[in-house]
A and B are shown apart, each in its own frame.
Chain A
Amino acid sequence: MIQVEKLTKSYGSYQALNEITFSVEKGEILGFLGPNGAGKTTTMRILTCFFPATSGKARIAGYDVFEEPHEVKKRIGYLPENVPLYRDMKVVDYLSFVAGIKGVRRQDLKMRVGNVLDECGLSDMSNKMINELSKGYRQRVGLAQALVNEPEVLILDEPTVGLDPKQIIEIRKLIKNLAGKRTIILSTHILPEVSMTCNRVVIINKGKVVAVDTPQNLTANIHGASRLIVKVDGPAQDVISGLQKIQGINRVNKKESSNGISEFILDTEKGIDIRRDIAAGIVRSGWGLLELRPVEMSLEDIFIKLVTKE
């Protein structure tokens, strides 16, 4: 549905995007992840034909964004980061204007606007001025204007930024409900959002793609070693030397100890499960094994790892 190939954008001498390449399948939700200033908004502005790239290619629904912007524009819904709306208009008038301009036929216009008001939970607000709405509702109006022409592709730039937790959950639910019918690109720097809503993640940093994968694969594959936490009732020094003798353990780190109970973090070799050996070893030495569990690396850790690698 969306193909991006070697997209590059420079502002004078500053390179905002450096040959980024990725693609999105029909019906997929792609998370676009990166720290502030990584090039997320720039990419989205290129995809929405707001400005062209310095070089590279991008196609949406088979249309090139540089050669046939009009065809692309008809097929996308875009929600910019700061949700710019005409604040001096009523919600329903604004949505009717957008629907008209996006080419919704006159006879369908009323119905489409009605549907999108329902879909975004705005029915009670339809006669209010956009001015008077709270941030959460303005966000919904922003989403509604993106959806009003039933576009094949949705491009959402940080759709949950600045909302309260309840609103965030509602907006996420809304986005999830749209999945399947539409292809969605969603940028964010909030990581749980990605694991909750997206099928696939593109992590970019300083204008370069550093990883593309599913959130699950990213958490599973990224670390070279797996980690275990062990809590043992026994003399700390002896336990350390005892653990170091077990094959497959690369490193033993003592985290804390109190009342003779110590907690250790073990870095083990990837691909082998040595939890049985550890348990057996500890029991054989006559200490008490209180806890033994693997540590999942969170998306946060992975993100920091990828972004700070250089």
Chain B
Amino acid sequence: MRNFYLIAKKELYSYFSSPVAYVVITIFLVITGYYFYNLLASFSTLSFQASTNPAIAQQQNLLNITETVVRPLFGNISMIMLLMMPLLTMRLFSEEKKSGTIELLLTYPVTDMEVIIGKFIACFVVFLLMLLLTATFPALLILFGEPEIGPTITGYIGLILTGAAFISLGIFTSSLTENQIIAATLSFGVLILFFMMGTSVSLMGPTIGNIMMHISLIGHLEGFAKGIIDTTDIIYYFLFIVLFNFLTLRVLESKKWRG
């Protein structure tokens, strides 16, 4: 128990003693903030138009702040996460491999599992902090408008699960190589594939399309943004996280049989 904590603490120390965490968090907030501003500005323009043009006013869902601001915002945040999370995870094992510190770490009395979970937790904490700061956007909406609280909260739950999934994948690719750029590129690639799978569903037959829809990351996030907590989605994220942490464990153990 103590070892998870110590490794997580040490990793957090590294995140914040170098500019990495600050840069990633700042850029993340700038871009999400920009998206939020755009969404909100177009919503208020629309509201003004609706006050003079009854045709627009009749389109109920356009004037629903949850539908036009909050939901697209979650979609945008998840896309920006896709670009930022690999940058947080890429160093976790690659750097240790490159500098050789992994040799010392793995000769300390810790298990491979403790190392992985410690690193996972550290990265997850940075991610939570990053996401928590975006909560100012819905907070502003609550202050000046009346968004639905329920879907906002479930949307955040969805983002947290998505982030955890990204981290587990990122740690896995980081364990494969001592080159951080390769680690980041691999995780971008795999994440984008998982996203794109959802867009090609309509091109496939019903069976394969259905399977791809279930594997794709997008489909599972959408439910949360709508305010639906579906156990299928939760199990999907859970399995995703367990699978990639398990694969990382195998990679670390492979040094035992690889020549």
Give residues in A with beta carbon < 8 Å to B: 10-12, 45, 48-52, 70, 73-74, 76, 78, 80, 82, 84-89, 93, 97-98, 100-103, 145
Contacts and interface: CB of A to CB of B under 8 A. Distances in A.
B18 A88 contact: yes
A86 B104 CA distance: 10
Given A86-B14, A89-B17, A145-B104, 14 more contacts: A10-B259, A11-B259, A45-B103, A50-B106, A50-B255, A51-B255, A76-B107, A80-B103, A88-B18, A89-B13, A97-B6, A98-B108, A101-B110, A103-B109
Contacts of A45: 103
Interface residues of B, number: 25
B107 A89 contact: no
A12 B256 CA distance: 13
A88 B106 CA distance: 19
B14 A88 contact: yes
A101 B108 contact: yes
A124 B44 CA distance: 61
A52 B254 CA distance: 11
B7 interface: yes
A201 B62 CA distance: 83
B101 interface: yes
B3 interface: yes
Contact of B108 (A82, A89, A102): A102
Contact of A89 (B3, B14, B104): B14
Of A10, A45, A88, A89, chain B has the most CB atoms within 10 Å of the CB of A88
10 contacts: A45-B103, A51-B255, A52-B256, A78-B104, A80-B100, A86-B14, A89-B10, A101-B110, A103-B109, A145-B104
Contacts of A49: 106-107
Interface string B1-34: 0110011011001100110000000000000000
B52 interface: no
A101 B17 contact: no
B61 interface: no
Interface string B236-251: 0000000000000000
Nearest to B115: A101
A74 B259 contact: no
A145 B10 CA distance: 15
B255 A82 contact: no
Contacts of A85: 101, 104
In the A-B complex, the 10 residue pairs with the closest CB atoms? A84-B100, A73-B109, A11-B259, A84-B101, A48-B107, A100-B6, A74-B109, A12-B259, A101-B108, A97-B10
Nearest to A87: B99
A50 B259 contact: no
